[in-house]
Structure 1
Amino acid sequence: MTYFFTKRSKRFTLIEQPHPGGDSVIPYLEAYKGARRVGCSRFFLSSFLLYPLLKLVHDQSTSPIFKIRDFLSVVEFVFFGNRRYDLFIGLEAVNAIAGILLRKLGLVKTVVYYVSDYSPDRYKPKWVNDLYLFLDRFAAKHSDFVWDVSLAMMPARIKVGLDPQKAAPLIHVPNALFPKQISYLPYSRVVPNSLVFVGTLGWINGPDLAIKALKIVLKSVPGATLHVYGSGEPDMTRLKRLTGKLKLGEKVVFHGFVSDQVKLSQETAKYMLGLAPYLATPGSPRWWADATKTRLYLAAGLPVITTQVPPLGKEIERDGAGIIADDTPTSQAIAITKLLKNKVLYKKMRINAIKRARNNTWENTYKNALRKMGYKI
């Protein structure tokens, strides 16, 4: 986002708000004039006043005090900054609501509610979830535009109480990649019968399922291997223990976490199939989210094997770039084996994957969104 907007704005400001559980709890601000960064700061009076309470939070789950920090940091910066903004983009409801207040004060002209993650059953207890849904509905109704990364989000909002007639205009703003990430290898250089899983290793994302499926795949494709990119405990210990229990030995290769996104894309391109075996768990945000790892796979020229969970999976299967299978080891293994053993079908899906990912850049995503808002880009 920074790269896109600094090239097109006279002035651009980014406020980064650290998640709970990290070393830093104070928001970080970067200010740009055109493409040149002219300032950065961690001075937010409201956040320093909240500092003792913020430091008491040691886990990464959503924290009310951090949401209060987010709201106050945005209002503080704009209100005391003595500047007006033509466009305010608030990621998550609390930031969008801060923008709505600032618009009421005449400090912001247009407010966008940018939603990257949504679930109608996100929190327990119920009153916390009800508050979350209320804030989401408020932001969706009172912003000037809603940017959803997935087309599944708005129908879910409507189902739990949002009046579609009162909602702000919706613009689909899918996740994307940088041009250097959209690159694939010649088929002759791809590791034969290789599978890859990229991403966070929580069980809900399906790495355990991928390992169990490999055990079945090996019965008909003995040379198959699974390559896992990701890290974090206790997930890594769990997965290595499962690998040992299934006696998979060197058939599962753990490569760890790769922070450089371009390098990660280059690594991904070495393999034949990308696995996104999300578990069909009630209330999981994955039912309504945009599955970024599937975009990574497609951009590297990999057909995708996924489940019925991610909305993007239906589009990928429709375009002939992947297969949806149930979230069981057997179903996943059948889909994987089908492509590994049918080279004609595999190559056809590989061509479709490359074609689908060709224009999936952040440049195009944000250009399309702004044009739909009436900006000349």
Structure 2
Amino acid sequence: MRFKSIVLVSHVTDLSGPSEAVENYLKTRSDRLGVIYHPFHYCADRRSRMQDYRGGTLLREARQGGWNLPALATYVKDALFTLFYFLRLGGRYDVYLGADPLNTVVGVVLKWLGLTNFVIFYTIDWMPERFSNKLLNAVYHWLDRFCVRHCDAAWNISPRIQDVRRSQGLPDAKNVLVPVGVDLEKIDLPDKSASEPRDLVLLGALAPSKGVDLVIDAFPRLKERFPQLRLHVIGKTPHDAVEDGVVYQPYEPRLAALGEGVILHGAKPHDEVLAMLPAYDVALALYKPSPNNLSQWADPSRVKDYLACGLPTIITPVPEIHKDIAALNAGIVVDYAVEPLADAIGRMLADPGQWRSMREAALAYMRSYSWSSILDRVFEESFRAKA
């Protein structure tokens, strides 16, 4: 694919995700690329930012508006900054790719004004109760349906969200599945044919819904059985440590208190993460079963990164990918509890042959998930739907 001009608008976290992967893809395929990012309220740097690329080269960048505002005011601020930055970027792009309803509705308005020709609505996360505030949740779903009606193509990160779009009346030609991919070309795999597993890794934001408490409870008993066991933690407690309206304490002190064998790496850029992961052996993706857990509707990128780096993954049955992991024997699916987790880790560590078999299954599974191949396909499908 080659683009004359395209703008990407998204909310982002402190960690790299699908939007950053799309940006990397577009940088090498666009004459003009505009990028507008709005960090979520819990990010360390909450300033909206604009990047202007020409032929893959960054010409200018701006960051503004990192104020600590109430949630509704923050979303209004983000929409206004999208308009402001869009005009600063030149005021016209052939394609507008908006991730989430708030960013996409701005693209629809810009199309009505004749400032863009084609609007893609990219749904990275979706759930019935997206916000606990009923009014905010109603506004979110009204905007969501508005974008479905007026977009030229809808990208959906999981089959579950694709089914929602179908129920909303979106034609199949516009209803495009965009699974999370992996930058396979950035991964350097070591030879582990004679290795024995001893390094666990937990990647991502440290929050109750990510199973950190389970890991803290399970590690000491595993350490007694496997003295060489090490736990690598890549990530940090979010700046705003609140989940489901409940404030929780930072996890770093509790993890450090586990003593020898726990290594806290902090948050790392995505390229560094992909360089680090292949050195480890077993990955943890412990999503808490809950109606409010976005992961049940999503395709978590960290799971794909784990598998592509050759890490058999211990996962709870929350995101859809757990079904593939079980069917392909690329890891172990466990209930969200300490005993099943400790048992699964123990089985992997005690049977290196089975672990190596799972490692090969994980690598084989991910060979078809190159971001470049996925995005080539979905852009072609999207423009074909318009034609």
2:27/2:55 contact within 8 Å kept: yes
Name the Cα RMSD after superposition.
2.9
1:264 to 2:273 alignment: yes
Deviation at 1:118, TM superposition (A): 1.8
TM-score, normalising length: structure 1: 0.83
Matched with 2:324 is: 315
Q: How does 1:66-81 map onto structure 2 within 5 Å?
A: 66-78=74-86
Matched with 2:374 is: 365
Matched with 1:91 is: 99
1:208/1:239 contact within 8 Å kept: no
TM-score, normalising length: structure 2: 0.81
1:211/1:243 contact within 8 Å kept: no
Q: How does 1:212-227 map onto structure 2 within 5 Å?
A: 212-218=217-223, 220-227=225-232
1:337-370: CA deviation from partner (whole Å, max 9, x where unpaired): 2222223321111101111223433222211211
Matched with 1:10 is: 31
Deviation at 1:28, TM superposition (A): 2.6
Identity %: 27
Deviation at 1:13, TM superposition (A): 1.2
CA distance in 2, matches of 1:19, 1:206: 22
Letter in 1 for 2:134: K
Matched with 1:163 is: 168
Q: How does 1:45-124 map onto structure 2 within 5 Å?
A: 55-57=67-69, 63-78=71-86, 83-124=91-132
Matched with 2:335 is: 326
Matched with 2:183 is: 178
CA distance in 2, matches of 1:86, 1:208: 47
1:194 to 2:205 alignment: no
1:80 to 1:204, Cα distance in 2 relative to 1, 3 A: closer
Deviation at 1:218, TM superposition (A): 4.4
1:14/1:30 contact within 8 Å kept: yes
CA distance in 1, matches of 2:25, 2:139: 34
1:293 to 1:18, Cα distance in 2 relative to 1, 3 A: closer
1:95-132: CA deviation from partner (whole Å, max 9, x where unpaired): 11111111122221111111222221121222221221
Structure 2 gap ranges (5+): 1-21, 242-247
1:25 to 1:292, Cα distance in 2 relative to 1, 3 A: closer
Matched with 2:54 is: 33
Q: Relative to total residues, which structure has the larger strand share, 1 or 2?
A: 2
1:249 to 2:259 alignment: yes
Flag the structure with more relative contact order, 1 or 2, with Cα contacts below 8 A and sequence separation at least 6: 2
Matched with 1:145 is: 153
1:141/1:167 contact within 8 Å kept: no
The 3-state SS of whatever aligns with 2:158 is coil
Q: How does 1:346-361 map onto structure 2 within 5 Å?
A: 346-361=355-370
Letter in 2 for 1:212: D
1:43-102: CA deviation from partner (whole Å, max 9, x where unpaired): xxxx8xxx6xx7342xxxx72222222323333454687654221100111111111111
CA distance in 1, matches of 2:150, 2:332: 39
1:169-223: CA deviation from partner (whole Å, max 9, x where unpaired): 2222222332454232211575633211111111111122123233444465454
CA distance in 2, matches of 1:240, 1:147: 40
1:283 to 276, 292, 310: 292
The structure whose Rg is larger is: 1
2:283/2:314 contact within 8 Å kept: yes
Deviation at 1:374, TM superposition (A): 3.6
1:200/1:231 contact within 8 Å kept: yes
